[in-house]
């Protein structure tokens, strides 16, 4: 998945009201950027952080910059925009991931459960329908370990119950964690942050929901699916 426009570097002043961040551009100007991330963004919101913004010239958009990446020490990149994982996974599904899972057709944003939408519904002849939910992983509190969630997520727990319900009805369900960091080689659910979510995932796995985790290859030009992480 390529970014629509070349990203430009900036320095973070502060992130506030969940969806806003004040930054300083390379030429010294201070601007406000949109932050497409409702999470806590633990570890990537401190003053002085190097960030990467995507500019836009859309007259309908109030903010002319979107915060896409955070750059940590040693050049580690972290994907900030939580709308990107679905685009990355969809591209990977079209490029062969769906076939690897045994499916030939991909439908995004399909209604299911109680007033919910699954990220992708995969179908194929002679195969049970597969409900695929994608979660973005950006938290890391221990070297090499990615964690989800970074804050309490009641919506995430609800999704686990609905995926388990799909399995009970004879379908297939997959929970895919996409790690948007370049320094991760293992993954775990952050049960200390959200015990209810950990419980929901544990019950979903026991009910037959499959759990996959993939890394990403990330630069300031593009992001793509990488190898599977255990």
d(CA 120, CA 167): 15
Query: Does the pLDDT at position 14 exceed 90?
Result: yes
pLDDT on residue 113: 75
Task: Indicate the DSSP class of residue 73.
Answer: G
pLDDT on residue 88: 97
pLDDT on residue 61: 86
pLDDT on residue 115: 73
Structure confidence by residue, pLDDT tens digits, 49-90: 999 999 998 888 899 999 999 999 889 999 999 999 999 999
* Other beta carbons less than 10 A from residue 59's beta carbon: 7
Query: Does the pLDDT at position 224 exceed 90?
Result: yes
Percentage of the chain lying above the pLDDT 90 cut: 88
The overall pTM is greater than 0.85: yes
Domains of the chain in start order, with CATH, are 8-79 (2.40.50.580), 84-228 (3.40.1350.60)
CB 175, CB 210: distance < 8 Å: yes
pLDDT on residue 5: 93
**DSSP-derived pairing of the beta strands 77-79 and 116-123:** unpaired
Best CA proximity match to 52, nearest among 68, 63, 36, 72: 68
Structure confidence by residue, pLDDT tens digits, 159-206: 899 999 999 999 999 999 999 999 999 999 999 999 999 999 999 999
């Amino acid at each position: 998945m390529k970014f629509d426009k070349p990203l430009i570097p900036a320095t973070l002043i502060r992130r506030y009201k969940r969806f806003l961040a004040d930054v300083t551009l390379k030429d010294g100007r201070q601007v406000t950027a949109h932050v497409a991330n409702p999470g806590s963004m633990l570890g990537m919101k401190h003053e002085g952080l190097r960030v990467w913004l995507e500019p836009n010239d859309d007259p309908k958009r109030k903010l002319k910059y979107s915060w896409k990446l955070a750059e940590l020490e040693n050049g580690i990149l972290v994907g900030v925009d939580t709308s990107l994982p679905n685009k990355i996974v969809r591209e990977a599904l079209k490029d062969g991931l769906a076939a690897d899972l045994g499916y030939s057709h991909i439908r995004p944003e399909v209604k299911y459960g109680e007033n919910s939408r699954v990220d992708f519904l995969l179908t194929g002849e002679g195969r049970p329908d597969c409900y695929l939910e994608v979660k973005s992983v950006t938290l890391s509190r221990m070297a090499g370990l990615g964690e989800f969630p970074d804050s309490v997520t009641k919506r995430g727990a609800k999704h686990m119950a609905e995926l388990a319900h799909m399995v009970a009805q004879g379908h297939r369900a997959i929970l895919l964690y996409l790690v948007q960091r370049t320094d991760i080689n293992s993954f775990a659910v952050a049960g200390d942050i959200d015990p209810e979510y950990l419980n929901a995932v544990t019950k979903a796995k026991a009910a037959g929901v499959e759990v996959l985790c993939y890394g990403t290859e990330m630069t300031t030009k593009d992001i793509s699916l990488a190898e599977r992480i255990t």
